[in-house]
Structure 1
Amino acid sequence: MVRLLLDYPGSQVVQSVLQLPLLCYAAFTGKEEVIKVLIQHGVSLQGVDGRYGRNALSWSIANGYRAAFTRLLHTLGIGCDSVDQLGRTPLFYAAVEGFEQMLEQLRVRGSDVHRQDRFGLSSLFVVVQRGCGHLVRRILGNHPLTKEPRDSFGRSLSWWMRATGNDHLRDLVLSLGMQIGDDAPVEQTQYYMHVQSNRSIQVCDVCTLHTARDNRDI
């Protein structure tokens, strides 16, 4: 059916409020067989949505559709390091979702694990925010850093550890060769309590954490 519809003029219209081209929509909904048909039909692999500018590979990660992800990952020209309007790559979103296998598949294909987005955040910041020690080890164990990174607002990796209640990662990061500074923890309790008590499903576009609509301090 998809093959037949693709032959009609005007069939490749964007889908949903996100303005997803067909390949992105199939990836977002996990339709691996549809992805296969679309690729065979020659749809653009560089298509991105009209809201965030994410490609199909990034959208396949959003809901953890491994079959769709694998199909796209092995498609020549898909753009494993394609950045969206926030400067984020598919690997960044794999880190956000905590999908270790997806992150590893992208990493071994050369995706830059330390690439920073528009706000200076990288996959390392993201996994630290979520307390994912195994992913911290995966990233720094394969791509070590000696100097502690900071985001565009001057907040260090150790600042984010304290702010999200994940200071237990400090020893791990030190053991992997990073030199950590001694930023004053003046707001540790305030931010930690805010993150821990928040049950909002609203995600901040900047820090990627769940933040209440009326209080997005982080």
Structure 2
Amino acid sequence: MAQAAQELVNAVLRQAVKNHTAEVVQDLIEKHGCNPNQTTSVGGTLLHEVALHGNQAQALRIAKLLVSHGVQATQEDKSRRTAMFPAAKAGNIQLCEFLLGQGCSVDHKDLGHQSPLFYSSRHGHVDLSQLLLTRGADLNAADSNGYTPVFWAAHDDRVNMMKFLVEKGANPKILAKNGKSLLFSATGGAAAYALELGCDPQQQDQLGQTPIFRAVKEDDPQKVKLLVNNGADVDAQDKIGQTSLFYAANLGLKEMVTLLCSHLKASTLHRDMKGFSAKEYAKQHSKATNLAACTKILQAHETKQRLAAQKELRRIARERARKAAEERGGPSPPPASSSRKRPREEEQDVARTKYYLAFFEEGQEIPWNSHKYTENFRQLSLRCPWVEPGPQR
């Protein structure tokens, strides 16, 4: 019973250091027997909790009071963070200066190999970052993933912090362990600034993916447009032969699929190393709510692009035939029809091709002997080289 009462009193003290004045905290410690050296559920001290106080002046007074009652400023929690880390996250300059004076290291690393500078950078505290750098913080120190403070500033769209760090000597072109550049992490205005710093929009990571893949996965149309306008290839392939359109289709991102196909002219005819197209991934893996929409969009653009490819191949064939006839000295083949209506033979050819494609795309065997089109695929492929069989099931 006595232990339960003591735990309740200690819980009151934990709340007081975050919400009340130094006088209230002192009264709880000296008159009501609250333990100032208690630890939290994550192994931290009350100094870790002080940084969460909304009033920075009161936080500093409470911190001094706790230290005077024996609380160690250098004590770590389960993640190896000292009280400097939450203080840096909160941007409390006075509290950080006090903790540094109590023996906290400016370059102390937590389990993720991040120092207090990472926390101040990610949350946009320029003045505090200036203090930490003045005290000797490593500007280009990397965490366990190879990310530096400027990466985290870019990740949270802290453009002013990025500019400050770059001016102080941060390297904006350093790569993380997975090969990702600053442009992968950057969002909003930070992405535009990363491009100004010379980050390559075609930089590939270990998976062979470029920043446009990350933008598509995060469903960020503005970043996708920004990257394409600055030279990113919308049809760039990763190491398994997939483009960013595959990921948009697989995730069921209807608006992103529309953007890639309609406005950025991404290819819908491409197949990955397994022989599948983006449309087939949409059929198999998309979220149910967007499955039909994504498949319909991809089907419409695939048909349009396939017909355009057929037209281009016929043009090339006519051009080659004309050149061959000129070399032989014989008559040139007749020019393509200028009429908007296709010749009868061309209409039959297109109809036959569409019929075959419907079977191949569904992975079915074509009923050669039961249909009026008795031509086999070998003959069809010789005459229509743009026809490709779909994945076999």
What is the TM-score of this pair, normalised by structure 1? 0.71
Of the candidates 35, 39, 63, which is equivalent to residue 35 of structure 1?
A: 63
Of the candidates 46, 57, 77, which is equivalent to residue 22 of structure 1?
A: 46
Alignment-derived partner of residue 143 in structure 2: 117
Q: Distance in 1 between matches of 2:119 and 2:42?
A: 17
Of the candidates 176, 183, 187, which is equivalent to residue 158 of structure 1?
A: 183
Q: Distance in 1 between matches of 2:52 and 2:221?
A: 28
Alignment-derived partner of residue 202 in structure 2: 182
Q: Distance in 1 between matches of 2:148 and 2:110?
A: 14
Of the candidates 157, 163, 179, which is equivalent to residue 131 of structure 1?
A: 157
Q: Secondary structure at the match of 2:219?
A: helix
Structure 1 segment 52-201 matched on structure 2, within 5 A: 52-73=79-100, 75-145=101-171, 148-161=173-186, 164-165=187-188, 166-174=190-198, 180=200, 182-183=202-203, 184-193=210-219
| CA apart distance, 1:90 | 0.7
| CA apart distance, 1:104 | 1.1
| CA apart distance, 1:66 | 4.1
| CA apart distance, 1:39 | 2.8
In structure 2, do the counterparts of structure 1 residues 53 and 193 end up closer, same or farther at CA, with 3 Å as the change threshold?
same
Structure 1: tracts of 5 or more residues without a match: 197-214
Q: Distance in 2 between matches of 1:159 and 1:195?
A: 14
Alignment-derived partner of residue 347 in structure 2: none
Structure 2: tracts of 5 or more residues without a match: 1-24, 204-209, 223-250, 252-393
* Structure showing the higher helix proportion among its residues: 2
Q: Distance in 2 between matches of 1:110 and 1:185?
A: 33
Q: Distance in 1 between matches of 2:110 and 2:124?
A: 19
Counterpart contact for 1:3–1:37, Cα < 8 Å = no
Counterpart contact for 2:139–2:170, Cα < 8 Å = no
Deviations 1:39-98 (A, max 9, x none): 334432221122x2211111113334444334324x141111111111111110001111
Q: Distance in 2 between matches of 1:128 and 1:118?
A: 18
Q: Distance in 1 between matches of 2:137 and 2:72?
A: 21
Counterpart contact for 1:125–1:160, Cα < 8 Å = yes
In structure 2, do the counterparts of structure 1 residues 195 and 125 end up closer, same or farther at CA, with 3 Å as the change threshold?
farther
Deviations 1:21-42 (A, max 9, x none): 1322223436221211233344
Counterpart contact for 2:123–2:153, Cα < 8 Å = no
Q: Distance in 1 between matches of 2:52 and 2:39?
A: 13
Counterpart contact for 2:45–2:75, Cα < 8 Å = yes
Alignment-derived partner of residue 12 in structure 1: 37
In structure 2, do the counterparts of structure 1 residues 117 and 188 end up closer, same or farther at CA, with 3 Å as the change threshold?
closer
Aligned residues: 187
Counterpart contact for 2:122–2:149, Cα < 8 Å = yes
| CA apart distance, 1:180 | 4.7
Q: Distance in 2 between matches of 1:43 and 1:107?
A: 27
Alignment-derived partner of residue 315 in structure 2: none
* Identity between Structure 1 and Structure 2 (%): 20
Q: Distance in 2 between matches of 1:49 and 1:195?
A: 40
| CA apart distance, 1:155 | 0.9
Q: Secondary structure at the match of 1:193?
A: coil
Counterpart contact for 2:201–2:211, Cα < 8 Å = no
Q: Which amino acid aligns with 2:104?
A: I
| CA apart distance, 1:158 | 2.6
Q: Distance in 2 between matches of 1:137 and 1:9?
A: 46
Alignment-derived partner of residue 205 in structure 1: none
Q: Distance in 1 between matches of 2:75 and 2:88?
A: 16
Counterpart contact for 2:28–2:34, Cα < 8 Å = no
Q: Secondary structure at the match of 2:162?
A: helix
Q: Distance in 2 between matches of 1:195 and 1:132?
A: 20
Counterpart contact for 2:150–2:170, Cα < 8 Å = no
